[in-house]
Amino acid sequence: MNRSKIEWCDHTLNIITGCRHGCPYCYARTMATRFSGDARRNLMQNRHVTVENGCYELNEPFLDENGKQIVYPFGFEPTFHKYRLNILDKYKSGKNFFVGAMADIFGDWVPDAWLTDVFDVCTQHKLNNYLFLTKNPARYKTTLLPEGNNFWYGTTITKNAEVKKIEQLPFRRNKFLSIEPLLENIIFAPEDFWGIGWIILGAETGHRKEKVVPEFSWVKRIVLWADTQGVPVFMKESMVPIVGEKNMRREFPRGLIDKPISEKRDQILYTQCSECHRKLKRSDMVTLSARVGRRGPENLNPTKTVCAMCRPCFVKWCSYRGINDITGELYGENTEQEVPNE
């Protein structure tokens, strides 16, 4: 799994792919078709495929006759990539995951068992934030949703007729709106944003003949309403031609900025100052080492780390011992700074 090109998340989690909404502006359908190969031929090779109600399950990656993986072998048909259920195991620090970027996993066609498996995987990896987005928020009310501050539930709104979907967002959960693509001058009431924790704004991309280009006034009105409720707004790059770079908003809610890391990763990245005992990044500290043996062909650098100090404590430590302060040489800058009291 590579870093996502979607600006508002770190990665995407596409255990479920495919959608039946049929939106004419859908980028995911275009991408799935591009990387599907010969979908009709693929359907004939059903050794690792389970079919139910027009939905497909893959227990392992689908390979063509040359051994090359086909990512979306059935095009944009709903597919459960079961072999991806352990993909989160490799992440040791918290990330923001958009779950189902290549699907609407809350579509009525998605089996309950698929959702359960995806929720279980997310629940087991508590360090990450998970953002779910659907055009069918009514299913939120009929689904046992995971709880926790690291789960976010959103719905897509593109025009006025869809504003009522806000009422279907789950109660007492982190909620967000994706207003993308903005297809018309949407009239929100200020109370529509009550309880909403984040708003994402984007314009239609691609070269569709009926492509809609939002007007600046449409965007300005939404942002003003969001500001009255204190809701952070994130504008995708597609909004630059509409509002200009100086008016771009790239705000995140606090919960998606502060991401925890695993205990093992924490020990690698952070340590305590041996003097003041503050916990800081190792990269911001001075490490004191001692030679423990002679150099030799099998041990070119026989040194052992003794301790680490924050820079102010190191300056003070050098001063007490009549050692010239070398932090300037280490960091290439002026090190005159306040030294903490003992």
Summarize pLDDT for 1-33 with one digit per residue, the tens: 557 789 999 999 999 999 999 999 998 999 999
Contact 160, 184 (CB under 8 A): yes
Element spanning 154, H or E: strand 151-156
pTM assigned to the model: 0.78
pLDDT at 275 over 90: no
Amino acid at 270: Y
Distance from C-alpha of 94 to C-alpha of 256, rounded to nearest angstrom = 10
The two tokens of residue 6 are 């979607």
Counting residues of the chain whose pLDDT is more than 90, the rounded percentage is 62
* Residue length of the chain: 342
Q: What is the mean pLDDT of residues 236-259?
A: 94
Q: How many CB atoms lie within 10 A of CB 278?
A: 14
Q: Are 201 and 233 in contact (CB under 8 A)?
A: yes
The most confident of 197-211, 277-291, 300-314, by mean pLDDT: 197-211
Residues 273-297 have a mean pLDDT of 78
Q: Average the pLDDT over 116-145 and give the result.
A: 97
Question: Mean per-residue pLDDT for 109-115?
Answer: 96
**Quick check: 193 and 221 in contact, CB under 8 A?**
no
Which pLDDT value is given to residue 342? 40
Identify whether the C-beta of residue 99 lies closer than 8 Å to the C-beta of residue 115: no
DSSP designation for 1: -
Tell me the Cα Rg of the chain.
Answer: 26
CB atoms within 10 A of CB 251: 13
Least confident of 29-38, 124-133, 316-325: 316-325
Q: Hey, how many other C-beta atoms are within 10 angstroms of the C-beta on 300?
A: 7
Range with top average pLDDT, 162-166, 328-332, 337-341: 162-166
Distance CA 74, CA 49 (A): 10
**Over the stretch 226-235, which tens digit does the pLDDT of each residue have?**
999 999 999 9
**SS3 (DSSP) at 15:** coil
Q: What pLDDT band is residue 298 in, cutting at 50, 70 and 90?
A: low
Tell whether the model's pLDDT for residue 183 goes beyond 70: yes
User: 73 preceded by cis ω (within 30°)?
Assistant: no
Direct distance between the N- and C-terminal alpha carbons of the chain, in angstroms, rounded to an integer: 48
- pLDDT at site 338: 41
Per-residue pLDDT, 316: 85
Is the pLDDT assigned to residue 59 strictly greater than 60?
yes
Q: Contact, 202 vs 174, CB < 8 A?
A: no
DSSP 341: P
- Cβ(111)–Cβ(74) under 8 Å? no
Give the count of beta carbons closer than 10 Å to the beta carbon of residue 230.
Answer: 8
Q: Are 306 and 279 in contact (CB under 8 A)?
A: no
